[in-house]
Structure 1
Amino acid sequence: MKSVTLLHRIQLVIAIIIAVCFLIPVVWMLFVSIKTEGSPIKTLVDWFLPPYTFDNYSKVLSKTSMLRWMGNSLFIALVKTVLTVLFTSLAAFAISKIQFHYKQAIFLFFVAGLMIPGEATIIPLYAVVKDMELLDSYLGIILPGIAAPLGVVILKSFFDGVPRELVESAEIDGCGSFKTYSTIVLPLAKPAIASLSIFTFIGSWNNFLWPYLSITSEELYTVPVGIPTLLANYTVDYVTPMTVNAIASIPVIIAFMLFEKQIVKGISFSGIKG
């Protein structure tokens, strides 16, 4: 019993140390973002000492296109999240609960998709989107991202846990496949869907490579694409860069804080470890 308690305390200490290591850069960024430009920094402690000002935020928001870029990122992330959840859940339900030939082989294709790095598909993807005349448009940014093999794998592993008897009962009561999916299986998968939604949203918000390649108009810039252009001529002073990055990070931090429980539940229910 004592060994179990000691092990638990060691794990707790290790977890706290890891959490602090992740939090220090975030806290440093927030403190630097509210310091006055040109503040003398002689020691590490000086980064966290006053004077403080929030004028940096108002200046960045009023004199740059950050709000527009954040609006673009939010719109793209929300639409991509909804479409990704819709299509991956339909695919996962079909593979998990509908009997048809070669469904295991099809599922293996989805699993194989996880082993292909996204960078390897950039050139053919760009060629396809160009031929469809979707470059420099919201559709050109959103549509390639809704094909998410990981989402299919996550939701299929959850749908496999839904009792077959429950699905058969719905079929006996006259429910078709889509009604069974929408009224029986999907409501039971809320934890996994919440987890997938958060991962998709954050991934879309932070995505740089594909928007950078497919966008040429500044009005369509997302936050990751706009920030490098905004800071191309920044000085050695850290205040403005940290303010810009703090503004870009705040929505994602808030989303994670609001949906932390759903993320943990989704990971545990879907059977994903790591």
Structure 2
Amino acid sequence: MKWVYRIVALIAAIVFIAPLVWMIVVSIKEEGMKIVTLVDWFTPPYSFAVYDQILSGTKLTNWILNSFFVAFCVTILTVAFAAMAGFVMSKLPFRYKSFMFFLVLAGLLIPGEAIIIPLYQVAKDMSLLNSYQGLIIPVLASPVAVIVLKSFFDGVPNDLLESVQIDGGGTWRIFTQIMLPLNRPALASMAILTFIGSWNNFLWPFLSVTNDSLFTLPMGIPTLMSSYSEDYVKPMVVNTIASIPIILLFIIFERQIVKGVSLSGIKG
């Protein structure tokens, strides 16, 4: 029976990898290529001249750096705030604790598009538009991250925390030296998923930024694609360059992603 699963897994892998391979191969073809048969997509000549042309003749490099900076800041701040909120709701007693958790849970029921107009108005009133702050601050709230991290913090025995308190440890020590290290897989999983979500975010940057020097990749790529609509090579080069960071991120942190998601599934 194992060979059946392996064959199915192999077929699924080919189905998902084939478009990626096709994109990379087409990106190193010469411009103006003549395509008659399927084999022509994968036959020489090959050239990296278009890569140099795109990187040196457009703002794609700047957009990549913007995406990295915004995604990095959003990831660090989102996970930090979500971890602190999850810890407070899990282990610290306070009034209206259940009601506060219900409000966070209710945030999952509201689609992001429903609050995009008031969010834009608030950002405008605070003079955050057309700035890095405007790209970062309004997207930091993550009810999913709070709920997931709270579920992991709930799994830490209270007896362990009480023993730390007996030894003179305060709330901050419990949070930084006990809770965070014990829940490292969940933190890593949330960080990676948050980074990917920020990297692929299009709607909010599209609304909050009009200066092309502040564009992120999801905003910048369509402007290039519209210029190269009659050729396959340049759009594939742009998409390949944009995909490489996320592909590398997944390859490097694959175990953390799988472990974090599987553990959250078990706890749920």
Partner of 1:160: 154
Q: Note if contact 2:135-2:204 (Cα within 8 Å) is conserved in structure 1.
A: yes
Partner of 1:51: 45
Residue 241 of structure 2 is aligned to residue 247 of structure 1: yes
> Which of 163, 168, 181 is the aligned partner of 1:174?
168
Q: Note if contact 1:154-1:272 (Cα within 8 Å) is conserved in structure 2.
A: no
Q: Aligned partners of 2:99, 2:15: CA distance in 1, in Å? A: 43
1:273 deviates by 9.0
Q: Aligned partners of 1:213, 1:236: CA distance in 2, in Å? A: 28
Displacement over 6 Å in runs of 4+:
none
Q: Note if contact 1:227-1:244 (Cα within 8 Å) is conserved in structure 2.
A: yes
Q: Aligned partners of 2:45, 2:226: CA distance in 1, in Å? A: 27
1:272 deviates by 6.3
Q: Note if contact 1:85-1:197 (Cα within 8 Å) is conserved in structure 2.
A: yes
Residue 56 of structure 2 is aligned to residue 67 of structure 1: no
Partner of 1:192: 186
1:178 deviates by 1.5
Q: Note if contact 2:164-2:174 (Cα within 8 Å) is conserved in structure 1.
A: yes
Offset from partner CA, 1:41-94 (integer Å, 9 cap, x none): 111222122111111111110111111010100000001100001000000001
> Which of 87, 91, 100 is the aligned partner of 1:93?
87
Q: Note if contact 2:151-2:267 (Cα within 8 Å) is conserved in structure 1.
A: no
For residues 1-274 of structure 1, the aligned pairs below 5 Å read 6=1, 8-271=2-265
Shift in CA distance, 230/19, structure 1 to aligned 2, threshold 3 Å:
same
Q: Aligned partners of 1:111, 1:49: CA distance in 2, in Å? A: 53
Q: Aligned partners of 2:51, 2:75: CA distance in 1, in Å? A: 28
Shift in CA distance, 272/251, structure 1 to aligned 2, threshold 3 Å:
farther
Count of matched residue pairs: 268
Q: Note if contact 1:206-1:224 (Cα within 8 Å) is conserved in structure 2.
A: yes
Partner of 1:3: none
Please report the TM-score for the alignment, with normalisation by the length of structure 1.
Answer: 0.94
Q: Aligned partners of 1:157, 1:18: CA distance in 2, in Å? A: 32
Look up the equivalent residue of 2:155 and give its one-letter code: G
Q: Aligned partners of 1:136, 1:94: CA distance in 2, in Å? A: 34
1:163 deviates by 1.4
Q: Aligned partners of 1:108, 1:42: CA distance in 2, in Å? A: 60
Look up the equivalent residue of 1:123 and give its one-letter code: I
Q: Note if contact 2:152-2:267 (Cα within 8 Å) is conserved in structure 1.
A: no
Q: Note if contact 1:36-1:52 (Cα within 8 Å) is conserved in structure 2.
A: yes
1:14 deviates by 2.8
Please report the TM-score for the alignment, with normalisation by the length of structure 2.
Answer: 0.96
Look up the equivalent residue of 1:12 and give its one-letter code: R
Q: Note if contact 2:74-2:140 (Cα within 8 Å) is conserved in structure 1.
A: yes
Look up the equivalent residue of 2:133 and give its one-letter code: L
Look up the equivalent residue of 1:218 and give its one-letter code: D
Question: What secondary structure does 1:251 align onto?
Answer: helix
Structure 2, unpaired ranges of 5+: none
Q: Aligned Cα RMSD in Å?
A: 1.5
1:247 deviates by 0.4
